[in-house]
Amino acid sequence: MSTAEKQPQTTMHLGAARGGWFDQLKVTLARRTEGRGLALLSVVIVAAAILEPVVFTSYQVTLGRVALIGLVALGLTAVILMGELDLSVASTLAVSGVVMASIPDLWLGILAALATGLIIGAINAFFVVVVGINSFIATLGMLFALRGLAFVLSDEKPVRLTDIDAGIAFGAPLLGPITPRVLLFVLAFVALQIFLTRVKAGREFYAVGGNRQAAVDAGIPVRRRILTGFLISGFVASLAGIINTLERTAADPTAGSTVLLASFAAAIIGGVVLNGGRGSVLGTLIGAFSLGILQIALTLSGVQVDIQDIFIGVILLLAVITDPTNLRAALAGVRSSLRSRERAQTPV
């Protein structure tokens, strides 16, 4: 009863004390999820600057590559943040490219391509939300179905764009190194960054991925959020398909076959967690830059594509292993397996 009569203290300080700017900076950094991506990016930049400085003098090429990997990865991030997967992005890219090239009018083609992306996103969401299939399986099915559709629609060969001049104009820089591709990439980044940090629906993506039960209890329309995520991913993938088609002045049904894994890698390197709830589009951007610069540097050094893939694999594994919690678990695992081996040698 003593607590009842005692005048209760008015506040209780439980958070960490915040000191000067240095402490503030430390706190800010500790809150971010992009740390490992940033570390990798610095390593890649320093290595490239020393070994292959051409990467930065021919920044136009480098930026183009970053935009290629990064655009699809940005859309993908929205889905992964909710703990879902979208494996169909590369096939979506190919199908929407073919749809666009098949329509003689350029603008009508672009609109049709974007609509294709949205429809595919809606179908993915339908399978995941309404039918209740695991998103890995649902979008794996779509991956195959759409790739096949791209071949059927294109008759298994590249479809030439009717308006070739538009394509050539599209590839030209607007201002300095800024090609329309890079511009669209930056726009997509800014739009998603604002959506996921400032807009209510976007913030709720984190709730859906971080603690789905809590999201449901708080009255968040989880199914509608997942639909939005797949729509974003499909839309961005079709945007990438349009850009590809314009730049090559033709739609190739095999387009984007390497994009899928590279864009997943970019998101993961950037600190986006596959289980959802953790990560940022800024991280994905950093991941895309790391991968893009690495690829261009290796290409310029004359390293073959197959060997480049080995590098990407190693970088991806490094990014995941160097996660502090993973590191601790891995060390403990190694230690305990060593110990049990020790024991096996000394039967007492």
Partner 1 sequence: MTNSTHHEPPAPILQARGISKRFGGALALADVDLEVRPGEIHAVVGENGAGKSTLMRILAGIITPDSGSIRVGGDELEGGPRAAIDAGIALVHQELSLVPEMTVAENILLGAPPTTAGFIRSRQLKSIAREALDEIGVTVDLDEPIARLSVSLRQFVEIARAVARKPRVLILDEPTATLTPAETDYLLAMLQRLASKGMAVIYISHRIPEVFAICEAVTILRDGHLVERTEIASTTPSAVIDAMVGRELQLDLQVRRTANPGDVVISARGIKAPNVNDVDLDVRAGEIVGLGGLVGAGRTELVRAIVGADPRTAGTVTMTVDGRRTVIGSFQSAVRAGIGYVPEERRVDGLALTMSVSDNVALPNRAELSRASVLRPKAISAFVRRLADVVGLRPPAITRDVGEYSGGNQQKVVIAKWLGRKPDFIVLDEPTLGVDVGAKAEIHRLVRELADNGAAVLVVSSDLPELLELSDVIHVVRDGRIMGTLAQSEADEKTVMSLASGETLVGA
Q: How many CB atoms lie within 10 A of CB 130?
A: 10
Q: How many CB atoms lie within 10 A of CB 29?
A: 11
Block residue for tokens 């990997």: 69
DSSP 178: B
Q: 78 or 293, CB closer to partner 1?
A: 78
Q: 28 or 57, CB closer to partner 1?
A: 28
Quick one: which H or E segment has residue 124? helix 106-125
Residue 50 sits in the site that holds partner 1 (CB under 8 A): no
Can you point out the beta strands (E) in 230-309? 250-251
Instruction: Say whether 252 sits in a helix, a strand or coil.
Output: coil
Q: 30 or 172, CB closer to partner 1?
A: 30
Q: Which of the stretches 48-56, 132-140, 150-158, 217-225 binds partner 1 when contact is defined by CB under 8 A?
A: 217-225
Q: Facing residues of 280 across strands?
A: none
- Indicate the angle between helix axes 135-154 and 89-102, nearest 10 degrees: 30
Residue 80 sits in the site that holds partner 1 (CB under 8 A): no
Residue in 20, 21, 22, 30 binding partner 1, rule: CB under 8 A:
30
Task: Write the single-letter amino acid at 190.
Answer: V
Residue in 26, 157, 160, 339 binding partner 1, rule: CB under 8 A:
339
Residue 15 sits in the site that holds partner 1 (CB under 8 A): yes
Residue in 54, 183, 278, 318 binding partner 1, rule: CB under 8 A:
278
Report the alpha-carbon distance of residue 201 to residue 225 in Å, rounded: 7
Q: How many CB atoms lie within 10 A of CB 143?
A: 18
Residue 14 sits in the site that holds partner 1 (CB under 8 A): yes
Residue in 220, 226, 268, 288 binding partner 1, rule: CB under 8 A:
220
Residue in 176, 200, 306, 324 binding partner 1, rule: CB under 8 A:
200
Dihedral angle over CA of 272, 275, 277, 282, nearest 10: 10
Residue in 131, 198, 306, 307 binding partner 1, rule: CB under 8 A:
198
Point out which residues bind partner 1 (CB under 8 A): 1-6, 8-16, 18, 27, 30-31, 33, 198-201, 203-204, 206-207, 210-211, 213-215, 217-220, 277-278, 329, 332-333, 335-337, 339-340, 342-344, 346, 348
